[in-house]
Amino acid sequence: MADQTVTELIKSALRKVGAIASGETPTNDEMQEALLSLRIMFRQWSGKSLMLFKRDIVTVTLDGSQSYTIGSGATIDTTRPVKISSAYVNYNGIDLPVSIIDADRFSKFSEKTEGSIPPAFLWYNPGYSQGTIYVNPIGSGTLTLYVLVPLADTTTLTEDVVLPGEYDSAIVWNLACELGPEYGKEPTPYMLAKAEIAKDDIISLNASLAMGEAELGVNMLGGTRGEGDINL
Domain-located, residue 108: yes
Note whether 85 and 140 are same-domain residues.
yes
d(CA 139, CA 95): 14
Q: What angle do CA 107, 110, 116 make, to 5 degrees?
A: 110
Domain CATH code at residue 17:
1.10.3230.20
The list of the chain residues with pLDDT below 70 reads: 1-2, 111-116, 212-232
In a domain, 168, yes or no: yes
Does residue 137 sit in the same domain as residue 189? no
What are 7-27's pLDDT values in tens digits? 999 999 999 999 999 999 999
Looking at the fold, whether 196 and 163 belong to one and the same domain comes out as: yes
Residues 81 and 42 in one domain: no
Same domain, 133 and 199: no
Q: Any idea how long the chain is?
A: 232
In a domain, 224, yes or no: no
Residue 217 resides in a domain: no
Q: What string of DSSP letters covers 8-23? A: HHHHHHHHHTTSS-TT
Based on the domain organization, do 143 and 190 belong to the same domain? no
pLDDT at residue 123, as a whole number: 97
Of 148, 174, 199, the last residue of a domain is: 148
Q: Are 8 and 20 contacting, i.e. CB atoms less than 8 angstroms apart? A: no
For residue 139, the model assigns a pLDDT of 85
Domain shared by 66 and 144, yes or no:
yes
Cα separation values, 205 from 74, 198, 199, 212, 213, Å: 32, 11, 10, 11, 13
| pLDDT at residue 230, rounded to an integer | 33
Indicate if 122 and 171 belong to the same structural domain.
no
Provide the pLDDT for residue 114: 60
Same domain, 98 and 143: yes
Q: How many structural domains comprise the chain?
A: 2
In a domain, 32, yes or no: yes
Answer yes or no: do 68 and 134 share one domain: yes
Q: Residue 136 is inside which H or E element, if any? A: strand 131-136
Residue 216 maps to a domain: no
Q: Are residues 101 and 170 in the same domain?
A: no
Distance CA(46)–CA(154), nearest Å, equals: 13
Domain with 81, as residue range(s), is: 55-148
Is 173 part of a structural domain of the chain?
A: yes
Q: Are residues 144 and 173 in the same domain?
A: no
pTM value surpassing 0.85:
no
Q: Is residue 221 part of a domain?
A: no
- Per-residue confidence (pLDDT) for residue 214, from 0 to 100: 57
